[in-house]
Amino acid sequence: MILTVFGLHTAGANELSDSADTRSRIVAFGDSLTAGLGVNRDDAYPAQLQRRLDELDYRYRVINAGVSGETTAGGLRRTPWVLGSKPDVVILELGGNDGLRGLSLEQTTHNLSRIIEQLRQANTTVILAGMKLPPNYGQDYIRGFEAIYPNLAKHYNLALIPFFLEGVAALPALNQADGIHPTKEGYRIVVEQVLNVLGPVLRARARKSQATHGGS
């Protein structure tokens, strides 16, 4: 199984299990915002993130595990498969579709908690991407939804991207016609937001590895 910008593709397992690539793995685990719905796969944020990491001399391989339309329930079902890639870091971007569908905040929180717990049990570093909702969902629901992410980050001591689409959301020039999914340029900005959080995490991992192995 392989993931493409439009969901699942039959050519599969190679992307997640290529043993010839010995770099540590970062899995971008999410919905259509991760998959890159509406843009070329090379313009989706995981591919752009890969190029930026290469430029910065981080030896990591970024794997796009985004599925369009994914909810947290679907993500929870997919977690064992994602873990099959033996990720060192997972950037978890899920919940937006739950919110847009008005699903139970308690269930969204539960699903994200279970995903985080399963990833951490596998010694995977989790970076949580926060999401926001349009203003027409009612203030109580919006406040409750947006609070899920900082609350989970605090509870599990996770690095948090406060809002995945910061600097992109609601800006027509950076979004496709649907007003939800970024353009190539919009994803470039998303990548810089991700790097603001991912960079320190990768540097901390490098320091820990050096200390463990007595390297200089």
Which residues are known to be catalytic? 32, 178, 181
| 3-class DSSP assignment, residue 158 | coil
Nearest in space to 204 (alpha carbons), one of 159, 164, 155 = 159
Residues 6+ apart with CB under 8 A from 125: 88, 89, 90, 159, 201, 205
Dihedral pair phi/psi, residue 131, rounded to 5°: -130, 160
Q: Where are the beta strands (DSSP E) in the chain?
A: 2-4, 7-9, 24-30, 60-66, 89-93, 125-129, 159-161
Nearest in space to 115 (alpha carbons), one of 157, 151, 147, 77 = 77
Nearest in space to 121 (alpha carbons), one of 160, 149, 82 = 82
- 135: region left, alpha or beta (phi > 0 left; psi from -120 to 50 alpha): alpha
